[in-house]
Amino acid sequence: MPGKSTPLPFEKLSSTRWLVRGKVMNNILANWYELKAYFELSDDPKRYETRYKARLIKEMMQDHKNYLYFQFAVPIVQEFETVNSLFQHTNIDPTILDTELYTHYESLHGRLYHPDGTPKGVRWCRFWVQIYAGSSKVCNSTLGNQQIFRDVEDLKRRCKDVLEEALSQLKLRMPASRNTFQNLAKLSSTVILNQATRPKFYELPFLHVIPNQLLSKTEEQYRKIVFVNWTEQTAFLKHGLVLETEVLG
C-alpha cells in the first residue's frame, strides 16, 4: 500500500453504513492485492464456516472482473454520496441543493448522451478511464490478455446499463420544478429575519395554500416577525409558539 505501513482495519456493519459505502469500497480497492493475498493464505481447519467464507472471498478477489467492477463503481458511488451528503445537512441553502443535484444529473446525462439527446455508443461513453487503468494492471499480472480484453468489452456494456439505470433513478428524484428549491430559500430564517434581503410578502412561495380569510393576518405576522428579539427567547418551548405571544400580540 503506498504510504501505508499497515492495511486499513475492517469496519463493522452499521445501520448507517450506506452513507459511507463509497469510502468502504475505496478502502477495499486500495487494499485489493493485500486482501487478495491475505485470503489466499487464510486456512483455519478448525473452523469450517470461517474457512468457507474466506474461500468465497478469495475466489471473488481472484476474479479480475470483480476488480474491474470496483474500478468502475467506486468513483460513481462516491459522486452520488457527495451529493447525498449535502442533503444530510440540517442547515443548508436549498438553492445549493438544487444546483448540485441538477449539475450531477447533467454530468451523468452527458456521459451517456450527445448534446442533441441521441445516445452515445459504448466506446464514446466518458467513464472508461478507471476501467482501462484497471485492465492494464490486470494484464501486467496475468497471461490471458485476450480474455481480459473480451471481459473489458463485456464490462463496458454492463457498466453502461448501470449508468442508464442510475440516470433513470436520479431523474425520478429531480424536483418537478427547479423553482421549488429556489422558492424554499426565501423561507430560510436567515432571509426572513434580515430586513435588507427579505422578500415582499407577495413574493413568498406557497401563498396559495393559505386560506383567503387568513391572508391579512399572515401578512401582519410577517411584518412583525423581524421585530421579535429572538435572543431573549428560549431555544425550545414546551407549550405554544413564540408567534402566539410576540407576533400576534
CA distances in angstroms from 62 to 2, 40, 142, 152, listed in the order given = 21, 9, 11, 16
- Contact partners, residue 152, CB within 8 Å, separation at least 6: 68, 131, 132, 135
Is the Cβ–Cβ distance between 168 and 199 less than 8 Å? no
Q: What cell was used for 86? A: 449535502
Q: Report pLDDT for 179.
A: 66
CA distances in angstroms from 176 to 10, 141, 216, listed in the order given = 41, 50, 30
* Orientation angle between helical segments 129-141 and 145-172, nearest 10 degrees: 150
Is the Cβ–Cβ distance between 71 and 131 less than 8 Å? yes
Residue 240 CA from chain centroid, whole number: 38
Q: What cell was used for 96? A: 445549493
Q: Report pLDDT for 136.
A: 62
Q: Report pLDDT for 1.
A: 45
Q: What cell was used for 152? A: 473489458
Is the Cβ–Cβ distance between 122 and 156 less than 8 Å? yes
| Model pLDDT for residues 152-203, shown as the tens digit of each residue | 788 888 888 999 999 999 988 887 666 666 677 788 888 888 888 888 888 8
Residue 22 burial class via C-beta count within 10 angstroms: exposed 0-12, middle 13-18, buried 19 and up: buried
| Model pLDDT for residues 223-247, shown as the tens digit of each residue | 888 888 877 666 655 555 554 455 4
Spell out the domain ranges in the chain: 1-62, 72-185, 188-247
Helix (H, G, I), strand (E, B) or coil at 74: helix
Using pLDDT thresholds of 50, 70 and 90, give the confidence band for residue 127: low
Whether this model's pTM surpasses 0.85: no
